[in-house]
Amino acid sequence: MKNFLKSSCPWSNAFDLPKITQLEQEVASPDFWNDQQRAAVISQELSNLKEEATSFAILKKDLTDLRDLLLLLKDTQEEAPEIKEIEEKLTRLEKEINQTSLCMLLKGEYDKLSAITTIQSGAGGREAEDWCLMLLEMYQRYCQKKGYGFKILSESFSEGGGPDGRTGRKEVTFEIKGKYVYGFLKNETGVHRLVRMSPFSANNLRHTSFCKVEVLPKLETEDLKNIEIKPEDIRVDTYRSQGKGGQNVNKRETAIRVTHLPTGIVTCCQMERMQARNKEVALEMLKAKLATKKEQEMKQEQTKLKGEQVNVEFGHQIRSYVFQPYQLVKDLRTQVETPQINDVMQGDLDKFVEAEIGL
């Protein structure tokens, strides 16, 4: 807290005021709306920058007020009862400042959006399917800590009889709703590796398994309009939603599977009651995958022009979670690691998320 009391704000130049002035002048130009598509993009960018500036101003004022109040109480040379309350407010303010400063580092086209995440079990059989469930619960707890909305869109169950009667997942897709969620979690995309003494092994042998995590932006209406999918390029299949053990939970075929024929991309949705709504969500997911694929291809092309090598293989793990013979979670990209594996599985992912953003 002492660092915050020494200055009016530790990141007073965190956002670009000249950029706001430049965009305001551009919006005020008489021919600004001649190109409506470009005008819409600039207007949205200006709105976002102003929102950031407003958040900054509020935090700065709160910080200044609390700092002045603490200095005043200190001058009285008495143990004022308000000090504890002020310290608690400073703790909350510190978290808000950290969150806001992180958001200011996220400048990607879709970083401000919510996210759609898919976890797919890989090598490891039932062990990998249980690992898929463990990752699902980890991200769900992370969302609870952050106050994000969480909703499962589709899931494919494994056979029952896992540890403690748990039923693993072959694949699960869920939506995480909140501002900047995609920006924070997009770097979770990749292969996550588990090492532990397998509860499925009669001899209690150590086992390694893998799951693939894919994080996509939850595109908004304007973004969806800009991505065109030809009707002849997709195949739509219907099926009954399934529950644990593989049993059908609906009598009607309301679940939807959409296959994009040119790319082979498949999206599914089964959690809505109406078939039309499931199809709508599946198509939104498909558009998000196509947008992300296009963005990745552009980055890969830029990297090739720079002469660098890029590893885009499915089996390239980004993080290892070791339960036995020792406990360690290590991100192989940032080298951030912690022995507190139970905290990580309870949703404490901030150290990994922030390291990937650049702090």
Q: Is the four-CA dihedral 122, 128, 129, 133 of positive or negative sign?
A: negative
The whole-angstrom distance between residue 133's C-alpha and the CA centroid of its chain comes to: 17
Phi, psi of 201 (to 5 degrees): -95, 125
Predicted confidence (pLDDT) at residue 265 exceeds the cutoff of 70 = yes
Are residues 83 and 175 located together in one domain of the fold? no
Distance separating alpha carbons of residues 78 and 310, to the nearest angstrom:
62
> Averaged over 3-23, what is the pLDDT?
56
For residues 116 and 107, what is the distance between their CA atoms, to the nearest angstrom? 19
* 130 and 90 part of one domain: no
Strand-pair category, 169-177 with 265-269: unpaired
pTM for the full predicted model = 0.71
Q: Which residue has the higher pLDDT, 128 or 70?
A: 128
Q: Are 267 and 297 contained in the same domain?
A: yes
69 has pLDDT over 80: no
DSSP 8-state assignment for residue 65: H
Mean pLDDT of the chain: 81
Res. 109: pLDDT tops 90: no
- Above 60 in pLDDT, residue 71? yes
* 110 belongs to a structural domain: no
- pLDDT value for 22: 83
Check: CB of residue 136 under 8 Å from CB of residue 169: yes
CA-to-CA distance for 12 and 24, rounded, in angstroms?
21
Mean pLDDT of 107-130: 88
Residue 247 maps to a domain = yes
* Domain match, 327 and 192 both: yes
- Average pLDDT over every residue of 309-319: 59
Distance CA 280, CA 283 (A): 5
Most confidently predicted of 69-83, 95-109, 279-293: 279-293
The answer to the question of residue 340 being in a domain is yes
Instruction: State which of 53, 85, 105 marks the end of a domain.
Output: 105
Confidence of residue 308 (pLDDT cuts 50, 70, 90): very low
* pLDDT > 60? residue 81: yes
Which of 48, 78, 105 is the C-terminal boundary of a domain?
Answer: 105
Same-domain check for residues 146 and 286: yes
Is residue 151 pLDDT above 60, yes or no?
yes
Do 294 and 231 share a domain, yes or no? Answer: yes
Could you identify the residue written with the tokens 């707890």?
Answer: 141
**Rounded-to-integer distance, Cα 174 and Cα 73, Å:** 49
More confident residue, 120 or 77: 120
- One domain for residues 157 and 283: yes
34: domain CATH number is 1.20.58
Summarize pLDDT for 232-250 with one digit per residue, the tens: 999 999 887 665 655 545 5
Q: What CATH number should be reported for the domain holding residue 178?
A: 3.30.70.1660
Burial annotation 50-81 (CB, 10 A radius, 16+ → b, else e): eebeebbeebeebbeebbeebeebeeeeeeee
**Residue 292: pLDDT band by 50, 70, 90 thresholds?**
confident
Distance of CA 45 to the CA centre of its chain: 21
Percent of the chain with pLDDT over 70: 82
Domain count, the chain: 2
Domain hosting 264: range is 115-307+315-357
Same domain (yes/no): 286, 260: yes
Q: What is the pLDDT of residue 315?
A: 54
Q: Give the Cα separation of 318 and 188 in Å (integer).
A: 8
**What does the alpha-carbon distance between residue 156 and residue 179 come to, in Å, rounded to a whole number?**
28
